[in-house]
Amino acid sequence: MQGVVQQIVSGLATGGVYASLALALVLIYRSMEALNFAQGEMAMFSTFIAWELITVVHLNYYLAFAITIAVSIAGGFLIERIVIRPVEKAPPLTVVLVTLGLFFVINGVAGLIWSYVIKPFPGPPGFPQAPIEFGGVSVGLQDLFLIGMTVVLLVILYAFFQYTKLGLAMRAAALYPDTSRLLGVRTSRMLALGWGLAAGVGAVSGMLIAPIEFLDPNMMQPILLYAFAAAVLGGIENPVGAVVGGFVVGVLLALIGTYVPGARDLRLAFGLVIIVAVLMVRPGGLFGRAHVARV
């Protein structure tokens, strides 16, 4: 019994990482109805930047964390301006292909700069290694940190979109771009901001998973798959759904990995199964509309 709870907590922790990346995917999907296949690579690149700040420049972990997020937001903004804007009005699949191209480029550049040698990445300092006890079950503090960060992220984003003028404008621009322009909203800039925010969120997810999965240019590819599964499961347009989906996927994968013999390496395939199954049965996901007339 203790083992199961432990696995669940651990699954929630990695699920939080999937949820964060899924949040980024949802952000972009809501802005422009396209899937950003480069989201994981962008997150990976951000994590490498954090690595440089921490191990080469010797900055404090939390300072590096904050700087990386800021740099990532700016980077996402720029990427949208330079690479996505020319195809803003093109069919969604063209945008997908552009993001695939971006995938290649970012992965290649990261490999060029930092090589494919696996590097360790530090977790947040100041957390005692000893797990804490909850009614006979020992839970790692790092896991709680992961879960906590995910929830904090969701709350911050929710507050931003619900209660700030800019957040409102971004929502309006995503849903009703033509009318928003008539109200003076620069919709193109809102889109770039959306990409910036998504990049920032992705950076968080990368920095959270790197201590566990180690840092190398290919590290986010499985995470991206699970994030897609989470977003699809929760409903690709729904941020809360993405987070719930992430936790569910994380827990399922942890349980299957531990208790189904030989399934550990099949987890990626399991992600595929989730995606296909959900899209076939209820394309809107758990929190979306039941039958969506989607492209």
Partner 1 sequence: MALLELTDVQAAYGSVKALHGVSLSVEEGSIVALLGANGAGKTTTLRAISGTVRKVGGNVLYDDQVINLRSPEDVARMGIAHVPEGRGTLAQLTVWENLKMGAYVRRDGAGVKRDFDRVVSYFPWIGQRRDQVAVTLSGGEQQMLAIARALMLRPRMMLLDEPSLGLAPLVVRDIYRIIETINREEKTTILLVEQNARTALSAAHHAYVIEVGRIAVEGAATELASQESIRRSYLGY
Partner 2 sequence: MRFAGLSARAWGTAIVLLVIALLAPLFLLDRFNTIQFAYVWALAIALIGLNVLTGYSGQISLGNGAFMAIGAYTTAILYFKLKVPYGLTILPAGLIAGLAGYLFGFPALKLSGLYLALATFALALSASPVIKNFDALTNGHEGIVLPTVTDPFGFGLTNEQWLYYLALVIAVLLFVFARAMLGGATGRALRAVRDSETAAAASGISLSQFKTMAFGVSAFYAGIAGSLYATITAYVSPDSFDLPLSLSLLVGMVLGGLATLAGPVVGAAFVVWLPIFAQQAFHNKPDISYGVILVLLMFLLPQGIVGGVRQLLAWYRRRSSDGEPTAEAADLGPAAPPHAAERGTGGS
Q: How many residues bind partner 1 (CB under 8 A)?
A: 17
Q: Rule CB under 8 A: is residue 89 a binding residue for partner 1?
A: no
Q: Which residues bind partner 2 (CB under 8 A)?
A: 32-35, 37, 83, 86-87, 89-94, 96-98, 100-109, 111-112, 175-179, 221-222, 225, 228-229, 232, 262, 265-269, 271-272, 275-276, 279-280, 283, 294-295
Helix segments in 124-164, DSSP class H: 141-163
Distance in Å, CB of 178 to partner 1, minimum: 7
CB of 188 to partner 1, least distance (A): 9
10, 180, 205, 238: residue in contact with partner 1 (rule CB under 8 A): 180
Cα 266 to chain centroid, rounded: 21
Residue/partner pairs of 135-143 with CB below 8 Å, 24 or more apart: 136/2, 137/2, 137/5, 137/6, 137/9, 138/2, 138/6, 139/6, 139/9, 140/9, 140/10, 140/13, 142/13, 142/211, 143/9, 143/10, 143/12, 143/13
Place of tokens 């590819």: 221
**What does 171 interact with, of partner 1, partner 2, none (CB < 5 to 8 A by kind)?**
partner 1
As given in the structure block, the two tokens for residue 162 are 């619900």
Nearer to partner 1, 115 or 179 (CB): 179
C-alpha dihedral (18, 19, 24, 28), degrees to nearest 10: 110
Q: Min. distance of Cβ 94 from partner 2 in angstroms?
A: 4
Based on the shown chain and the rule CB under 8 A, indicate whether residue 185 belongs to the binding site for partner 1: yes
Which residues contribute to the site for partner 1 (CB under 8 A)? 165, 168-169, 171-172, 175-176, 178-187
